[in-house]
Amino acid sequence: MTAPALSLPRPLLWPLMAVALVLCWSSGFIGIRYASESAGVGLVLFWRTLVAGLILLPFALLVGPRMTLRGGIEQCLFGVMSVFLYLGGFALAIGARVPTGTVALISDLLPLAIAALSQPVLGERLSVAQWAGTAVAVLGVLIVSADSLSLGTAPLWAYGLTVASMLGFALASVLVKKRPGLRMPLHQSLCLHSLTGAVLFGLCAGWQGTLAPPLTMSFALGIGWLVLFATFGAYGIYYSSLRLFPVARVSAVIYLSPPVTMLWGWALFGEPLTATMVAGLAVTLAGVMLTMRG
């Protein structure tokens, strides 16, 4: 049976998807915060990807076209870049004593890397207004992140790892857009991405200790949040948006992730909300709007 087509008018579709994307993308830290109270980041990432992949597996096998070996291998490679290297690289960098604020800032520069790659790889040339909006959005991210930035004492390779993790996801994003003929239905590709990450994170977490999950409410709540919002929501909406809209436009809304994350922390955990953070949110929003108009 064919799923009913989405009937929203096209002018309304992107704003609604953009709002949902930034809310889900920025909410990932909530699940990490809950789950990491009783487990290391490696174990959290293993159970996040394993649970997500197992939930999607029966739908991937029974709903949609039959998966081919070539398509499966390619999706697994995308999973290495967009799940294992992206999430695991940042976790390893933090474990190597790269300050969390610095890791978050490099992660949040993902749209800048995608904008830079979209022209040589996809031929999507950004206008002057879009580049100006990108610069303003980056400035807003810097304002929001200023208080949490520090150099730390980590080795140089750990800082390079954060940049490589971000660039790997940016490259995966433009390659997905460049090769539409090899796309799978979203539930199938996301299933393979998640299971690929689960295998690799499982090897890493198993090498460090046990794979058994802590039997605590905070861990269960955190994993549930990460699977529902940060995996199904964020990755699902992101890949769906890439199939409908230019990659630079889709990635630009991720600039709003740091200030919206700040709002999540203020609303749920009572974290301080300063005038500087609010100013950074306003600047970032202005930059994203300028990029959209361009």
* Residue 159 counted as domain residue: yes
Instruction: Per-residue pLDDT tens, the chain, 294 aa: give them.
Output: 444 444 455 678 888 999 999 999 888 878 887 887 888 888 999 999 999 999 999 999 999 888 888 888 888 988 898 899 888 888 777 777 777 667 777 777 788 888 778 776 666 677 787 788 888 888 887 777 666 555 666 788 878 888 888 888 888 888 877 776 567 898 999 999 999 999 999 998 888 778 899 989 989 999 999 999 999 999 999 988 888 888 878 888 888 887 788 788 788 877 777 787 788 878 888 888 877 765
* Residue 135 counted as domain residue: yes
Report d(CA 1, CA 63) in Å as an integer.
9
Domains of the chain: total: 1
Residue 247 pLDDT: 80
* Residue 144 counted as domain residue: yes
* Residue 17 counted as domain residue: no
**Range(s) of the domain holding residue 104:** 25-293
Residue 151 pLDDT: 60
Question: What is the residue whose two structure tokens read 């940016």?
Answer: 170
* Residue 18 counted as domain residue: no
* Residue 8 counted as domain residue: no
Alpha carbons within 13 angstroms on the beta-carbon side of residue 154 total: 22
Cβ atoms of residues 263 and 277 within 8 Å: no
b (16+ CB within 10 A) / e for 1-30: eeeeeeeeeeeeebeebbebbbbbbbbbbb
Q: Which are the contacts of 128, defined by CB distance < 8 A and separation ≥ 6?
A: 294
Report d(CA 99, CA 188) in Å as an integer.
36
* Residue 235 counted as domain residue: yes
* Residue 255 counted as domain residue: yes
Residue 152 pLDDT: 63
The predicted model scores a pTM of: 0.82
